[in-house]
Amino acid sequence: MSELTLIRHGQAQTGAKDEASYDKLSDLGHEQAGWLGEHFLRTHGYDQIISGAMNRQIQTAQSLKLTTPHHHDPRLNEMDYFGLADSLLQTHGVAWPASEAEFITHLPQVLNAWRSGEIVDGLETYDAFCARITEALDEAARKDGRVLLVTSTGVIATLATLALDLDIHKKSRMFMAVAHTSVHKFTMHDRDLHLTQFGGTPHLDYPERLHAKTFA
């Protein structure tokens, strides 16, 4: 049985309306990753880091400041939330959320339409997304040594959903509970996925850093 550690990228460009504008760490995002790297130096040893190929994922891996070899795997890239939100607007007339409260309502609508196949042509399907991220995890589990994966909320929440067999509304709640640079652990046994830790933030759980625990 192989244990894999997954972390979400640091805070990116909150409030962005497209992928290109969002896909870069904020100053706080770099700081969050740096604190996590310091924590890993004291408590964990990893033999390799595998990040997705998105800027925010690569920058997070770099800002950990570990000497561990770092590789990219685009199968760990995030779901196309911006594309899916645009699709929901086109197909269902559901407007983009303008506040955090609206986002909480908007997210399950996006995920429901995606899972049901009610999206415009050309976007990655839900089944294809699930297939690529589970393949990436399965391949990482077969590598020698301890592997740290740097990815995004949708990947982590979907893997947790698959491991726990959750419905779409509970998946939405998992999605909202993934803090920036939070730590999650899974085990793989004969391609059977198990969640063993969700949402750890040991590097942020200090009184002077509580302001730095961000989600959006």
The two tokens of residue 111 are 């995920």
Determine the Cα–Cα distance for residues 185 and 159; give it in Å rounded to an integer. 10
Q: Which pTM does this prediction carry?
A: 0.94
pLDDT at 32: 98
Query: How is residue 147 written in tokens?
Result: 């592997």
Interatomic CA distance for residues 153 and 79, integer angstroms: 9
Domain 2-78+124-212, what fold? Rossmann fold (3.40.50)
For residues 80 and 50, the answer to whether their CB atoms sit within 8 Å is no
The two structure tokens encoding residue 64: 């950990």
Q: From residue 101, give the alpha-carbon distance in Å to each of 19, 114, 152.
A: 21, 21, 21
> Residue 56 has which token pair?
């925010």
| Predicted pLDDT at 191 | 74
Cβ(92)–Cβ(71) under 8 Å? Answer: no
Q: How far apart are CA 56 and CA 7, in angstroms?
A: 12
Looking up tokens 């920036």 gives: 180
What's phi and psi for 149, nearest 5 deg? -110, 130
List, run by run, the mean pLDDT of 10-residue segments along the chain (216 residues).
Answer: 91 82 94 98 92 98 97 97 93 89 91 93 95 95 94 97 91 93 92 93 97 94
